[in-house]
Amino acid sequence: MCGRYDLHNHPGAIALAMGLPYPQDLIPRYNIAPMTDIPVVRIAADGAREMVMMRWGLVPRWAQDPSIGARMINARGETVATSKAFRIPFARHRCLIPADGFYEWQKLPDGRKQPVRIAMRDGRTFALAGLAERWLSPDGDVLDSCTIVTIDANALLAPVHARMPVIVPPDAYGRWLDASGDPPVDLLAPYPEGAMTLYPVSTRVNAVRNDDASLIAPVAADPRTEPRPPAAAAAADDPDSGPVQAALF
């Protein structure tokens, strides 16, 4: 599952990383949570890439109520091509969600959870694989929303959590965004762990009201305990399989 992430690099660096023609006016954010508006990169009508804001928590066009988005912050990569909620967005409305890092919570033997941050070793902005959808209310109001695709964790993240977001390699951004051909199923794979880093961070990240640079600073691991392996991957990322936990600890 991916339920919290950060995006704080300079807007110019983000634009360069995402292949955007010009920087966007972005406020640094260190604790981005579901059901908030987030920056998303998609293909505009003129064929160029553009950055727009979308609600994190996909609302299918057939939904009766937009509150369903709280259960659709993630989409399982293994079933995304066949899921009732995600198959059309996967085929037609793929997007990139820029991030500088994301958080997971490591279960400890005493029952506590240690937050950790996962990022690229070189600190660069990367792209999470996203899906987008447009929902129209009975009154004609428009809601653009999105979800993050997840897959089995790589060797770096597996001791912490069984799932991780799909990270699109930079040379595959065009393929992911191009809706004219078959969906790039081959990109639904764990990102190479050698390019990534993972370290413990403050438990202040647990509260979504905290949003400052101290959240991404490393902290000393708890010397009293050793982390235990996570439980088997749950079906929580797929709304067709049951309720989803939004990871808002």
- 185-224 confidence digits (pLDDT tens): 999 999 999 999 999 999 999 999 999 999 999 998 654 4
Q: What is the pLDDT of residue 105?
A: 97
| Alpha-carbon separation of residue 220 from 4, 114, 165, 217, 248 (angstroms) | 21, 11, 25, 10, 23
* Contact assessment for residue 145 and residue 69, using Cβ atoms and an 8 Å cutoff: yes
- Cα 191 from Cα 156, distance rounded (Å): 10
- Cα 76 from Cα 80, distance rounded (Å): 6
Active site residues: 2, 104
Structure tokens at 104: 């997971």
Q: What is the pLDDT of residue 222?
A: 59
- Cα 55 from Cα 222, distance rounded (Å): 35
Nearest to residue 227, comparing CAs of 108, 85, 63?
108
CATH superfamily of 5-237: SOS response associated peptidase-like (3.90.1680.10)
Confidence of residue 104 (pLDDT cuts 50, 70, 90): very high
* All structural domains of the chain with their residue ranges: 5-237
Average pLDDT, the chain: 90
Residue with tokens 């950055």: 51
* Contact assessment for residue 177 and residue 131, using Cβ atoms and an 8 Å cutoff: no
Model confidence over 138-163: pLDDT tens digits? 888 899 999 999 999 999 999 999 99
- Cα 129 from Cα 139, distance rounded (Å): 31
- What residues contact 83, with CB distance under 8 A and at least 6 apart? 75, 76, 238, 239, 240
Average pLDDT rounded to a whole number, residues 95-123: 96
Average pLDDT rounded to a whole number, residues 221-245: 43
- Amino acid present at 202: S
Model confidence over 33-67: pLDDT tens digits? 999 999 999 999 999 999 999 999 999 999 999 99
Q: Are strands 94-99 and 167-168 parallel, antiparallel or unpaired?
A: unpaired
